[in-house]
Homo-oligomer: A and B are copies of this chain.
Amino acid sequence: MDFRFETEVRVRFAETDAQGVAHNSAYLVWFEIARIDYLARFRGGYPELRAEGVEALTIESHVRYLDPARFDDRLTIRCACGELRGARFRFDYAIERDGQAVADGWTRHACVDATTHRPLRVPAWLVQEIATAES
């Protein structure tokens, strides 16, 4: 996978569990941080989307946990956006620590009207900006 964007998180103590490693649900929070940071480069990003009355629901998620993340680890999250079709899009992710794979995965999303929750096409400006960013 060809990732042109990355962001960083530091594993919080609150994200660890009694196994001494980051809890499996924390990875979905990190994926979300990565895609929000990814979108933040375009216009007002995700807050702008919400201001326009568009909610992007998560409709599917997948994580492969390759090597446990631990407290205070500095993780790099690479991500890419693709498969924009109508209301839907997909993000792929790879999490690394010092160049070593920690986890990877993907999420799928659907834009809906924030009020009616009816499907809504991904706004044209966003499709355009993502196409430019990923090309």
Contact = CB atoms under 8 A, between A and B. Distances in A.
Contact of A29 (B12, B18, B62): B12
Interface string A43-55: 0001100000001
Contacts of A36: 13, 72
Interface of A: 12-14, 16-21, 23-26, 28-29, 32-33, 36, 46-47, 55, 57-65, 68, 70-72, 107, 117
Question: Mostly helix, strand, loop or mixed at chain A's interface?
Answer: mixed
B32 A24 contact: yes
A3 to B, nearest CB: 21
Contacts of A17: 13-14, 16-18
